[in-house]
Structure 1
Amino acid sequence: MTLVNLATVLSKAKEGKYAVGAFNATDLNTARGIVEAAEQEKSPIILQFAESHSKYISLEQAANMYLDLATRACVPICVHLDHGENFNTIIRAIKLGFTSVMVDASLKPFEENIQNTKEIVKIAQSLGISVEAELGVMNAEDGSGSLDYNTMDDTYTSVQEAKEFVQKTKIDALAIAFGTVHGLYKKEPNLNYERIKAIQNCTDMPLVMHGGSGLSNEEYQQSVANGITKINYYSTMSFEVTNGLRNYLNSNSDAFLFDVDAKTIELVKNNIAEKIQIFGSSNKA
């Protein structure tokens, strides 16, 4: 199969009313597990590298590994820069061959977010590279218990601003805030499906869920039914695979490093395959 951009996989997802999983990786074994899950499920996927993960692996190393895996895979794979906050990082990703980049200027004033995004759109789309941007504030769970999931309405993406933002930037996908949070949930989330639907109706744009870890099957599926076509999923997978490795090592005191490598791939593959099925993209390659 071929390496694809974000617009290609999300346009099909939007038409078919399913979501494509966007999975972060910070090492080769995790990335291999993700790709093997996609091949098993015959599903398109988005293999992501977050700018904030540069302390674990360089952008250049990630590009070499993930692009190689993607071009050899038998399913469509988009290699995507997640949460690109710095102009130079985004340009480096474009030069390295990423097929999609995210401009995250969501913490900047509305007009500045538009201008920063438009600048990248002009460069990237001329090269066939898709652009995702974010509007609204994605809260992060720090585990302190101070975040109230029921009082975040003022940080949700504005419907009218979303319409204006999409019209002015010409992006390919919009990440919206509607009640999800980054990290592992400490309480029951309160998702505003009507906000998703309203933004979808006024923008006709592929919409992105960030903070997609730890939701129930119904919450994923209701989000998709109302217009989400890309789901970012990482924290829960990372946590659950780590626990799986801990149990494996406790039960296998004679394990070698290569055994741990193989177990990591297996655990990631099983975890990601389950989510692909829930998101509805199995057999959509």
Structure 2
Amino acid sequence: MLVNMNDVLLPAKKRKYAVGFFNAVNVEMARAIIETAEELHAPVMIGTAEILLPAMSLERVAEYLIPMAAKASVPVCVHYDHGLTFEKCMEAIKLGFTSVMYDCSTEEYKANVTKVAEMVRICHETGVTVEGELGHVGDNEGAGKLANPSDYFTDPEVAADFAVLTGIDSLAVAVGNAHGDYKFPPRLDFGRIEAIAGSTGLPLVLHGGSGLSDSDFRTAVQKGICKVNIFTDIDKAGKAGIEEGLKAGASSITSLIPYEIEAMKRVVRNKLELFGSVGRIN
């Protein structure tokens, strides 16, 4: 069933588990995510991000994700992640996405507040939920890499102000996490997560979930993380599945698809079990 972010994150916050958000840039990824969630009776979030649109346009993604979510036997929130422009967020809403992240985290604080508050006002009129980001979650490599990530960590007191002024439904935090492959084991600031959860009262979001240890996930969820974003792990698993199929003698796209999907399902299954969301359907 197609739901918004509050429908899955508010119960997660109350019962101290997390919901997985997985980017799905093709139908095989979407199948792996939704089918696994159904098998495990787990709520899930699925979608794409603005940076991934070169792989599959927003309109094409909506064409398969919205109907698949609507037909699912479990709650599925279709979320537009890391929306960098107002126009693309509006396009996502018009296409049927039930949740958006408007990422203005690289802006000055006042601009971040003003832009996100306006997005919240528009979205809430139509039942669409909004995720904001305070601090900034950088990348492990490339143009988005931060020289001193701790300079951009989320401040709990500022986060409380941001939550009130914007009216957001969830908050993405910078607490030692980063996007992409971790070159060295990350050190998450669990005390900061707990402080932000307490000061804002919001479901918190952990970006850069691929590559974190099982212990990191469990502790982060207990401290207040209610949504964990995963892409790198499932993306790499799909590639590994195809390679496995080729080694097994698969000689066509159609014969490779089952290998691709099963490899990604293993990742999704592992994450949903770690987040504690298995069997959480009322």
Task: Pick the TM interval, shorter chain.
Answer: over 0.9
Which residues of structure 2 form unaligned runs of 5+?
Answer: none
For the Cα contact (< 8 Å) 1:143–1:186, is it kept in 2? no
> Secondary structure at the residue paired with 2:28?
helix
Shift of 1:143: 7.4
> Secondary structure at the residue paired with 1:78?
strand
User: Identity of counterpart residues, as a percentage?
Assistant: 39
**Superposed CA offset, 1:11-69 (max 9, x none):** 00001100000000110111111101100110000002111111111111111100111
> What is the aligned partner in structure 2 of residue 267 from structure 1?
263
Q: Match for 1:166 among 163, 168, 183?
A: 163
2:53 partner letter: S
- Aligned ranges 1:196-235 → 2 under 5 Å: 196-235=193-232
Shift of 1:263: 1.7
TM-score w.r.t. structure 1 length? 0.95
**Superposed CA offset, 1:209-244 (max 9, x none):** 000001111100000000000000111221133123
> What is the aligned partner in structure 2 of residue 100 from structure 1?
99
Relative distance call for 1:84 and 1:147 in structure 2 (3 A) is closer
> What is the aligned partner in structure 1 of residue 138 from structure 2?
139
2:262 partner letter: E
For the Cα contact (< 8 Å) 1:163–1:202, is it kept in 2? yes
2:255 partner letter: D
State the distance in 2 between where 1:63 and 1:241 align.
21
Q: Match for 2:253 among 250, 253, 257?
A: 257
State the distance in 2 between where 1:206 and 1:143 align.
29
> What is the aligned partner in structure 1 of residue 128 from structure 2?
129
State the distance in 2 between where 1:248 and 1:265 align.
11
Shift of 1:142: 1.4
For the Cα contact (< 8 Å) 1:132–1:172, is it kept in 2? yes
Shift of 1:155: 1.2
Q: Match for 1:182 among 179, 182, 188?
A: 179
Shift of 1:247: 2.6
State the distance in 2 between where 1:143 and 1:171 align.
30
Task: Give the stretch that moved more between structures: 42-51 or 242-251.
Answer: 242-251
Is 1:279 the equivalent of 2:275?
yes
State the distance in 2 between where 1:248 and 1:220 align.
31
TM-score w.r.t. structure 2 length? 0.96
Q: CA RMSD in A?
A: 1.4
> What is the aligned partner in structure 2 of residue 11 from structure 1?
10
State the distance in 2 between where 1:29 and 1:206 align.
29
2:132 partner letter: A
State the distance in 1 between where 2:149 and 2:69 align.
37
The runs of 4+ residues in structure 1 deviating greater than 2 Å are none
Aligned residue pairs total 280
Q: Match for 1:244 among 237, 241, 244?
A: 241
Q: Match for 2:149 among 137, 149, 152?
A: 152
> Secondary structure at the residue paired with 1:124?
helix
State the distance in 2 between where 1:120 and 1:69 align.
26
2:151 partner letter: D
Relative distance call for 1:116 and 1:167 in structure 2 (3 A) is same
Shift of 1:147: 6.7
State the distance in 1 between where 2:58 and 2:49 align.
9
State the distance in 1 between where 2:151 and 2:75 align.
37
State the distance in 1 between where 2:142 and 2:274 align.
27
> What is the aligned partner in structure 1 of residue 188 from structure 2?
191
Task: Give the stretch that moved more between structures: 265-274 or 128-137.
Answer: 265-274
**Superposed CA offset, 1:241-264 (max 9, x none):** 312321321231x42210112221
Task: Give the stretch that moved more between structures: 236-245 or 275-284.
Answer: 236-245
1:250 partner letter: K
